[in-house]
Amino acid sequence: MLEQLSWKVGGQQGEGVESTGETFAVALNRQGYYVYSFRHFSSRIKGGHSNDKVRVSLRRYRASSDHTDVLLAFDQESIDLNVGEVKPGGIVIADEKFHPTAPDHVRLFVVPITKLAEACGSAIMKNMVSLGASACVLGLPVDIFAEVIEERFARKGQKVVEQNMEAVRRGFEYVKELGGADPAFALKPADGTRRLFMMGNEALGLGALAAGARIMPAYPITPASDVMEYLIKKFPKVGGVVVQTEDEIAAMTMAIGAAYGGARALTCTSGPGLSLMMEAIGLSGMTETPVVIIDTQRGGPSTGLPTKQEQSDYLAALFGTHGEIPKIVLTPATPEECFTVMGQAFNYAEQYQCPVIVLTDLQLSLSKQTTDLLSLDQIQIDRGQLVTEAEIAATDAKAHFQRYALTDSGISPRVLPGTKGGLHHVTGVEHAESGQPNESAENRAKMMSKRLRKLVGVELPGSVVKTGDASPEVALVGVGSNIGAIGEAAERLRADGLRVSHVHLHALLPFPVQALQSAIADAKRVLVVENNATGQIRHLMAHFGVEHDHIDGLNKFNGQPFLATEIYEHVKGMV
């Protein structure tokens, strides 16, 4: 019996591929399996090939598997495009409606999926028939999908629930008659442990909610819109609101206004939107207004690849703003980190009074995976140097509150509008301690230095995490969702007798020079794995002075996430 397998469903976008994959993945997750699901879809509403690849296992994986064991195809194109990754002896289940053909290295089960669905009441239930067929092949009980189907269709009445379950049973029985129950594809039973099953975007939204955020102005953009859609449902329950603005410029400036007023505010976008926000991000830095921006990276430039994986916004996030401001850039790697990083982001924004960018990527944001239970105790709220009326009264108050007072730390006392004694001026032009415009050379030098020294010498805790061998032959360096493929490749390489470490960056600004330097110092060679064409992380390492005699790069920029085998084979070719 198998400890893991990979199942993929493919078809035209809009014909039930997503719901089929979702039902399969949720049902297996509820049995106690670890599930990792990644969906490939086109940049259109309907039409074009789409697939959902689901990895089911008894241990945690955070990346898709190298191969596919079972392919469920709704059309011939799905076979043609995906059968090459089906391992020899693997299975293809296809609807007889399109007269499927498949190469000899796989077992082809031709099932009248559409006809069986129509016999149950509607062709739309072909996804249920196909789930039953898949369950039979994998040796799963026919009722494994019952709970999910009940939840999904209960609002439509018990008759609809029963029709869908009947469709599952018919698919199961048909394949059973074909001899489809193959012990070679049977999964070992899971322990039944209930865990969360969520995408990174949902975890980001939940983390923002737990961190006390109550307003999110945003403009919809793939692949960031799920954060917005999640909080549209959740914010009203706690007195919060999501505002759909006319564009990303309005979203950013509205977030700044809300944050200035005292709310914990965030906005969410992807690369094109981040570009539009840059001037306003500078306003946040100049006015020292804390605000959080989520940037979910996708393929660029321009419209680029809206629904494909890429990690090419690193330089934009760090250096995109005109002028020079203090800024923090955080890079979570798992849904659990997406949750906790939002607490850190709001705390850092208010402690350092600057914009904080939470930088994710499409693979992390949209892949659904088994996630450990999350606790509100993981997020503590720290609002920084926010002073009260009593604190102001206890000082030798001047006519105007010194909102931008020159301090050794560069961080000045902050006050909310309307606080007695807190009167001050706010402007995007250079200003004096009271906020009143002041363009003198002396004042400019003092204020610029004040702002920039906030983060001088700061390395945020947990910015670099190293696992594996202490003195490796190869140190694999990565950011974001590549944590899964890198970690799995490192495990395989160690099994081959190679000493390998995995160094993952969880913050890029302030750049963790000392921690990263220490993490790679004992490695003979360093390989930086990133989803972009120009090696942006390697550029940052060089720019900030991280030194090593042998730093190489493995770059993938075709829109697809890394597979563990790609990293494994590359390293084997290096040593």
Given a cut of 90, whether residue 534 has pLDDT beyond it is yes
The Cα angle at residue 231 between residues 227 and 232, in degrees rounded to 5: 115
What's the pLDDT score for residue 274? 98
In sequence order, the β-bridge partners of residue 507 are 330
Q: Do the domains 464-574 and 4-185 match in fold?
A: no
In sequence order, the β-bridge partners of residue 38 are 53
* pLDDT over 70 percentage in the chain: 100
Class of domain 198-378: alpha beta
The Cα angle at residue 63 between residues 371 and 306, in degrees rounded to 5: 95
Unique residue bearing structure tokens 């989803």: 531
Q: What is the pLDDT of residues 316-366, one digit of tens each?
A: 999 999 999 999 999 999 999 999 999 999 999 999 999 999 999 999 999
Helix or strand holding residue 426 (H, E)? none
Higher-confidence residue of 338 and 184: namely 338
User: 468 φ, ψ to 5°?
Assistant: 95, -150
Q: Where does the pLDDT of residue 42 fall: very low under 50, low under 70, confident under 90, or very high at 90 and above? A: confident
Q: Tell me, which fold does domain 464-574 have in CATH?
A: Rossmann fold (3.40.50)
Hey, what amino acid is at 53? K
Q: Which residues have a Cβ under 8 Å from the Cβ of 59 and sit 6 or more positions away?
A: 3, 4, 34
Q: Where does the pLDDT of residue 384 fall: very low under 50, low under 70, confident under 90, or very high at 90 and above? A: very high
Q: How far apart are CA 78 and CA 51, in angstroms?
A: 8
Rounded to an integer, the average pLDDT of 369-385 is 96
Q: What is the pLDDT of residues 253-282, one digit of tens each?
A: 999 999 999 999 999 999 999 999 999 999
Given a cut of 70, whether residue 397 has pLDDT beyond it is no
Rounded to an integer, the average pLDDT of 507-536 is 98
Domain locations in the chain as residue ranges: 4-185, 198-378, 385-456, 464-574
The two structure tokens encoding residue 31: 């049995």
Residue from 16, 12, 6 nearest 38 by CA: 6
- Yes or no: say if 431 and 425 are a contact pair by the CB < 8 Å rule: yes
Residue from 112, 106, 110 nearest 185 by CA: 106
The two structure tokens encoding residue 222: 């793939």
- Superfamily the domain 4-185 falls into: Pyruvate-ferredoxin oxidoreductase, PFOR, domain III (3.40.920.10)
Given a cut of 70, whether residue 515 has pLDDT beyond it is yes
Rounded to an integer, the average pLDDT of 193-220 is 98
Given a cut of 80, whether residue 393 has pLDDT beyond it is yes
What's the pLDDT score for residue 1? 83
Q: What is the pLDDT of residues 112-157, one digit of tens each?
A: 999 999 999 999 999 999 999 999 999 999 999 999 999 999 999 9
| Other beta carbons less than 10 A from residue 103's beta carbon | 13
* pLDDT over 90 percentage in the chain: 94
In sequence order, the β-bridge partners of residue 52 are 9, 39
- Mean pLDDT of the residues in the chain: 96
Hey, what amino acid is at 227? V
Q: Where does the pLDDT of residue 14 fall: very low under 50, low under 70, confident under 90, or very high at 90 and above? A: confident
Rounded to an integer, the average pLDDT of 81-88 is 96
Q: What is the pLDDT of residues 207-221, one digit of tens each?
A: 999 999 999 999 999
Q: Where does the pLDDT of residue 398 fall: very low under 50, low under 70, confident under 90, or very high at 90 and above? A: low
